[in-house]
């Protein structure tokens, strides 16, 4: 029993470090190839549309209801102490610093990251990636770099949009449900936000986009076992993206607000 436990633990540990090593190698190659010609503008714009514009409906829906829910939950406590006006600042700071970037990244990881893994995994099992190498086309340059650049650019923009929609949701609750004046709500919201809050929230989404791109592409490139393997890789891709996004968020929060406040 004990031997089996340590054997399993050892295998999982080696598997994790193997995964992180493969991820680091893929990231290094992708970043290097991003600065070498030819630059695939059309493919970057295509992937940016898939990752950004096509994600607007689900991001809008999630962000709006997050604003609704957070405003209602905060109001439940603030009404007891007669401080409803501070709902605006609490919601704005929470959305811009944490909820907006993290929720948007998780939504994109679930929607776009899973799609990337499934697409590349299908190409892997049908040997289309091997065919690209046969025609002297670098698969990383052709398949991964456009997705990496598109996600790194579009995720901060989606986060900015998500922040605005979340604040709008809170605004609707506070103005039409709690009776706070529109001008007062907007004044408190913008007065509470600092440039640092917006910058830190958007800065870490660049790395969230990289995480989604590299994890999903890495899993797609390493699919084994046909259609069943594609399903397993897609699941692993989403789970690992979630874990690494939350871990990175914890690191950046500690960095910006405790180590370099």
Q: What is the pLDDT of residues 200-220, one digit of tens each?
A: 889 999 999 999 999 999 998
Average pLDDT over residues 85-112: 90
The total of other beta-carbon atoms located within 10 Å of residue 235's CB is: 13
Q: Tens digits of per-residue pLDDT, 22-76? A: 888 888 998 898 888 888 888 899 999 988 889 999 999 999 999 999 888 888 7
| Per-residue DSSP letter, 39 | P
* SS3 state of residue 71: helix
pLDDT of residue 12: 79
The whole-model pTM stands at: 0.91
Taking residue 176's Cβ as centre, other Cβ atoms within 10 Å add up to 10
Per DSSP, 52 falls in state: T
């Amino acid at each position: 029993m004990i031997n089996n436990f340590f054997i399993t633990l050892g295998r999982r540990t080696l598997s994790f470090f193997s995964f992180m090593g493969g991820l680091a190698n893929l990231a290094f190659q992708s970043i290097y190839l991003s600065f070498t010609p030819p630059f695939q503008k059309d493919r970057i714009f295509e992937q940016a549309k898939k990752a950004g514009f096509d994600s607007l409906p689900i991001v809008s829906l999630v962000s709006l209801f997050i604003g609704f829910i957070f405003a209602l939950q905060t109001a439940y406590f603030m009404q007891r102490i007669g401080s409803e006006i501070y709902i605006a600042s609490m919601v704005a700071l929470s959305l811009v610093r944490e909820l907006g970037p993290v929720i948007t990244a998780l939504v994109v990881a679930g929607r776009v990251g899973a799609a990337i893994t499934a697409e590349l995994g299908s190409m892997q099992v049908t040997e289309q990636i091997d065919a690209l190498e046969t025609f002297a086309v670098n698969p990383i340059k052709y398949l991964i770099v456009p997705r990496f650049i598109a996600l790194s650019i579009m995720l901060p923009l989606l986060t900015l949009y998500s922040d605005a929609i979340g604040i709008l949701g809170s605004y609707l609750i506070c103005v039409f449900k709690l009776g706070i004046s529109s001008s007062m709500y907007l004044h408190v919201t913008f007065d509470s936000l600092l440039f640092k809050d917006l910058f830190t929230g958007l800065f870490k989404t660049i790395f969230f986009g990289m995480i989604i791109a590299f994890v999903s592409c890495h899993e797609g490139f390493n699919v084994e076992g046909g259609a069943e393997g594609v399903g397993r890789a897609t699941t692993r891709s989403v789970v690992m993206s979630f874990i690494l996004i939350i871990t990175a968020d914890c690191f950046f929060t500690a960095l910006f607000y405790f180590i370099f406040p």
